[in-house]
């Protein structure tokens, strides 16, 4: 009985070896060695991208199952790196392998940090935190934001000079934005039967300045018409369409 069991063990090992060799041959027949390497490379790239995204979103609370996926991808990257390192050790000295590995890790983290800064700056633009036409102060520069693209910002200073900044500066440097307020102009023509003297013009200006629906920091002007000294144009700005209508009613009631 014991002799038959001992005889069966070699046959079992031989069967397992045969099945494994046939399985490898079947995979090589279907995919080929190069295709398997390509699949492994794609899986490695996917794992690196997944880990990079998780690194960029590390402040968020992970969803259910995210920790397991993170551990799985990290394990895949480590195993692949270990296999690559083993191949390098077989083909090159150990010191050269360590230098290559350290350089690769440094380049990876440098690119990851650059990608993070660029992505945060791009998200700031997409969320509307900075818009074309804003007054932007950043990195010691101050000017009008006249251009935004995927990689850079274009500022026009008061002297007319255009300055190009990387969009990653929105995440690497503090900045201040002054967005222009939207105002609604109100214009009214005043006509008198006789030429308007300076006293009458000052009275009209005083009523326009006291308008309760006027934007205090906005435009306020009373100008004459060159062709007719009996006509004035009163112009001011309001903060909403309804306020503009009420401002016009106020001017008509008090001036005209």
- Please check whether residue 235 is in contact with residue 220, taking contact to mean a CB–CB distance below 8 angstroms: yes
How far apart are the C-alpha atoms of 233 and 256, rounded to whole Å?
Answer: 12
Separation CA 36–CA 155 (nearest Å): 50
φ/ψ (deg, to 5) at 8: -75, -25
Answer yes or no: do 118 and 146 share one domain. Answer: no
> What local confidence, expressed as pLDDT, does residue 81 receive?
66
139-185 pLDDT per residue, tens: 778 888 888 877 788 888 777 778 888 887 787 777 777 766 678 89
Provide the pLDDT for residue 229: 84
Residues 12 and 111 both lie in one domain: yes
Residue-wise pLDDT tens digits, 176-232: 777 666 788 999 999 888 888 888 889 999 999 999 888 877 788 998 888 888 899
Give me 190's structure tokens: 């005043």
Q: What is the average pLDDT score of the chain?
A: 72
Q: What single-letter DSSP state applies at residue 192?
A: -
Q: What are phi and psi of 143, to 5 degrees?
A: -175, -175
Q: What is the pTM of this model?
A: 0.36
pLDDT band at 245 (very low <50, low <70, confident <90, very high): very high
User: Number of structural domains, the chain?
Assistant: 3
Residues 79 and 61 in one domain: yes
How far is 83 from 68, CA to CA, in rounded Å? Answer: 23
CATH number, domain of 139, equals 2.30.30.60
Query: Are 70 and 145 in a shared domain?
Result: no
**Euclidean distance between CA atoms 21 and 52, whole angstroms:** 37
Of 178, 195, 220, the last residue of a domain is: 178
Domain with residue 209: its CATH number is 3.30.70
Residues 42 and 16 in one domain: yes
CA dist list (Å): 85 to 95, 96, 99, 180: 12, 11, 11, 57
Tokens coding 139: 């990195």
* Pair 118, 229 in one domain: no
* Residue numbers of the domain that contains 134: 128-178
Q: Are residues 102 and 82 in the same domain?
A: yes
Residues 34 and 117 in one domain: yes
**62 and 153 belong to one structural domain:** no
Residue 26 is classified by DSSP as H
**110-126 confidence digits (pLDDT tens):** 777 777 777 777 777 77
**In a shared domain, residues 117 and 14:** yes
> Across the strands, what pairs with 138?
141, 175
Taking alpha carbons only, the member of 180, 178, 181, 151 closest to residue 165 is 151
Q: Same domain, yes or no, for 33 and 135?
A: no
Tell whether 189 and 76 lie within a shared domain.
no
Element (H, E) at 228: strand 228-238
Q: Which of 245, 127, 114 is nearest to 184 (CA)?
A: 245
pLDDT tens per residue across span 33-80:
555 555 566 666 666 676 666 665 554 444 444 555 666 666 666 666
pLDDT score recorded for residue 246: 92
- Please say whether the beta carbons of 166 and 132 come within 8 A: no
Distance CA 201, CA 207 (A): 10
Q: Copy the structure tokens of residue 56.
A: 């960029």
Q: Helices (DSSP H) in 62-175: which residue ranges? A: 66-91, 94-126, 169-172
Q: Which residues contact 210 (CB under 8 A, 6 or more apart)?
A: none
């Amino acid at each position: 009985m014991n002799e038959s069991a001992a005889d069966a063990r070699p046959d079992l090992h031989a069967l397992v070896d045969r099945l494994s060799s046939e399985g490898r041959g079947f995979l090589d027949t279907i995919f080929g060695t190069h295709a398997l390497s390509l699949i492994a490379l794609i899986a490695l790239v996917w794992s690196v991208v997944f880990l990079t995204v998780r690194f960029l979103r590390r402040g968020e609370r992970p969803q259910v199952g995210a920790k397991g996926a993170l551990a799985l991808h990290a394990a895949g990257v480590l195993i692949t790196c270990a296999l690559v390192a083993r191949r390098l050790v077989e083909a090159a000295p150990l010191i050269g392998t360590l230098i290559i590995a350290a350089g690769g890790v440094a380049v990876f983290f440098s690119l990851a940090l650059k990608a993070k800064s660029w992505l945060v700056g791009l998200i700031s633009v997409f969320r509307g935190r900075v818009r074309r036409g804003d007054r932007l102060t950043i990195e010691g520069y101050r000017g009008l934001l006249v251009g935004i693209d995927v990689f850079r910002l274009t500022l026009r200073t008061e002297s007319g000079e255009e300055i190009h900044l990387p969009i990653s500066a929105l995440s690497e440097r503090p900045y201040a934005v002054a967005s222009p307020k939207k105002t609604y102009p109100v214009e009214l023509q005043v006509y008198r039967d006789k030429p308007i003297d300076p006293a009458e013009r000052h009275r009209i200006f005083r009523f326009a300045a006291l308008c309760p629906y006027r934007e205090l920091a906005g435009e306020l002007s009373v100008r004459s018409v060159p062709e007719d000294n009996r006509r004035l144009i009163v112009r001011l700005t309001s903060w909403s369409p309804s306020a503009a209508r009420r401002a016009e009613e106020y001017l008509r009631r008090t001036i005209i």
